[in-house]
């Protein structure tokens, strides 16, 4: 049987086209137990946009065939929409069927032992299509259970202080926070202790205003849920961000290699010690990595004091190091980290394990910075000075949290432009 090569090529190209459209629209995101009606409208909106793009990209030729070509595009859109919508409907129906049978549910714990927690528990047990299998309650305070609420002691599987061990032991996937209104002051502490990148953290909607800017409202079969820190950057943006990291870092390392060689020789002449300063830092999801920088301090800068903060007019900084910091040129070797994938061009500043171990107990929500790759530059770096005290770290953490919750390609480009202007003006520290 003869196969038309042009027809086959067009089919392959259109297949890649639709996959790209669906990725950009977020149809491949891990949306668990989405309403079939919601899914229908998502597919309808996405295929209409994809069809319109095709319509305006095609060359319809002469006017005589315009009507026929337009009808063909409409029929083609109807075919794509029908196939995808039917496929999604079947998948969601199967998901719903298994959920009603109690299969494939997310292992869930409820933080709280008050009235709200009991109501949430009853709703989840009664409505399996909410997709959560409740393993038990986690107590926030050490008070005795109120017998009027109806929660039994054997249903309490632990205390908030041991949340990490509970999540590990029970293989928890979702954490539902349902503390009482009078315990709202505990909310930040609760969020801090259950802040694990692989865990979906959800709140009852009563607390929307308390976590403004750190959440996204969702609804599962009529039950309103607030998700804390879902992935803010779409898959296609994350892909573009990584491509940009690789292209820029590789180009920078190759094109400016003569400049790096001159700087290396200059550093060696200026003061004794290694040219490249290597240090262990904490990266995404708390994983340690080795960060590289041009040395700007004496080689024995912390031999007597141990890890300390930098300060204004720091006496440990060499003469050349002062200018390298001013022009941000000491950061250049970190392009190797960006190429390796342990860092990004833009992100929170990576910190040393010594300080991370301190800050995660001293600063609420500090570990949320670890949800993304650390960066050579970032929102906190361009908006705040070097850390010289715990107050500085707290202030910078606010900027880091804002970036983590609102990260986008647009924001990354804005930060890169500000960083370049800072380098040109020599306003680095």
- What domains sit in the chain, N to C, each tagged with a CATH number? 5-100 (no CATH), 106-228 (3.40.50.720), 235-425 (no CATH)
- The pLDDT-based confidence of 344 (bands split at 50, 70, 90) is very high
> 241-256, pLDDT tens digit by residue?
999 999 999 999 999 8
> In which element (H, E) is residue 247 found?
helix 235-255
Q: What is the mean pLDDT of the chain?
A: 80
% the chain with pLDDT above 70: 80
pLDDT at position 26 is 77
CB 316 within 8 A of CB 297: yes
- The answer for residues whose C-beta is within 8 angstroms of residue 364's C-beta and 6 or more apart is 188, 189, 191, 192
Q: Which two tokens stand for residue 15?
A: 């297949």
Cα separation, 291 vs 340, in Å, equals 11
Q: Is the pLDDT of residue 403 over 80?
A: yes
- The answer for residues whose C-beta is within 8 angstroms of residue 110's C-beta and 6 or more apart is 117, 120, 121, 134, 136, 137, 138, 176, 178
> 159-171, pLDDT tens digit by residue?
888 888 898 888 8
Global pTM exceeds 0.85: no
Least confident of 31-45, 372-386, 406-420: 31-45
Cα separation, 280 vs 291, in Å, equals 6
CB 96 within 8 A of CB 33: yes
- Return the higher-pLDDT residue of 214 and 15: 15
Cross-strand partners of 215: 228
Cα separation, 215 vs 187, in Å, equals 13
Beta strand 106-111 pairing with 174-177: parallel
Least confident of 38-52, 65-79, 368-382: 65-79
pLDDT at position 423 is 76
Concatenated DSSP letters of 171-231 = T--EEEE---GGGGGGHHHHHHHT--TTSEEEE-GGGTGGGTTSEEEEEETTEEEEEES--
CB 108 within 8 A of CB 124: yes
> 282-307, pLDDT tens digit by residue?
999 889 999 999 988 876 666 555 56
Q: Is the pLDDT of residue 190 over 80?
A: no
pLDDT at position 214 is 46
Task: Tell me how long the chain is.
Answer: 429
Instruction: Give φ, ψ of 390 to 5 degrees.
Output: -65, -35
pLDDT at position 359 is 86
> 72-104, pLDDT tens digit by residue?
878 888 999 999 999 999 988 888 888 777 777
CB 192 within 8 A of CB 363: no
């Amino acid at each position: 049987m003869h196969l038309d090569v042009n027809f086959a090529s067009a089919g392959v190209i259109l297949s890649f086209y639709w996959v790209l459209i669906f990725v950009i629209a977020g149809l491949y995101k891990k949306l668990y137990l989405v309403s079939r009606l919601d899914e229908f409208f998502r597919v309808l909106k996405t295929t209409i946009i994809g069809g319109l793009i095709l319509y305006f990209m095609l060359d319809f030729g002469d006017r005589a065939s315009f009507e026929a070509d337009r009808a063909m595009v409409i029929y083609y859109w109807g075919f794509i929409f029908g196939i995808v919508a039917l496929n999604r409907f079947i998948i969601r129906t199967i998901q719903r069927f298994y959920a009603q049978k109690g299969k494939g549910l997310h292992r869930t714990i409820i933080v709280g032992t008050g009235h709200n927690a009991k109501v949430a528990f009853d709703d989840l047990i009664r409505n399996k299509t909410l997709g959560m299998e409740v393993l038990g309650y986690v107590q926030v305070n050490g008070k005795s259970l109120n017998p009027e609420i109806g929660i039994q002691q054997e249903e309490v599987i632990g205390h908030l202080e041991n949340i990490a061990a509970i999540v590990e032991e029970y293989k928890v996937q979702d954490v539902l926070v349902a503390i009482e209104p009078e315990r709202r002051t505990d909310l930040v502490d609760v969020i801090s202790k259950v802040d694990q990148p692989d865990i979906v953290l959800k709140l009852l909607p009563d607390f929307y205003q308390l976590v403004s800017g750190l959440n996204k409202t969702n609804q599962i079969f009529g039950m309103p849920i607030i998700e804390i820190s879902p992935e803010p950057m779409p898959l296609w943006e994350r892909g573009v961000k990584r491509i940009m990291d690789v292209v820029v870092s590789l180009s920078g390392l190759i094109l400016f290699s003569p400049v790096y060689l001159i700087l290396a020789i200059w550093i060696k002449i200026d003061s004794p010690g290694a040219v490249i300063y290597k240090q262990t830092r904490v990266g995404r999801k708390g994983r340690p990595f080795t960060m590289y920088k041009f040395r700007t301090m004496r080689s024995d800068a912390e031999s007597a004091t141990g890890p300390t903060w930098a300060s204004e007019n720091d006496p440990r900084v060499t003469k050349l190091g002062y200018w390298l910091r001013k022009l941000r040129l000491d950061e250049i070797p970190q392009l190797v980290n960006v190429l390796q994938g342990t860092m990004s061009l833009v992100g929170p500043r990576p910190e040393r394990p010594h300080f991370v171990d301190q800050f995660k107990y001293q600063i609420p929500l500090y570990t949320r910075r670890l949800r993304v790759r650390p960066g050579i530059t970032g929102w906190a770096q361009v908006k705040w000075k070097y850390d010289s005290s715990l107050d500085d770290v707290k202030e910078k953490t606010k900027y880091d949290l804002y970036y983590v919750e609102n990260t986008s390609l647009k924001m990354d480009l804005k930060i890169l432009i500000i960083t370049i202007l800072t380098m040109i003006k020599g306003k680095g520290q």
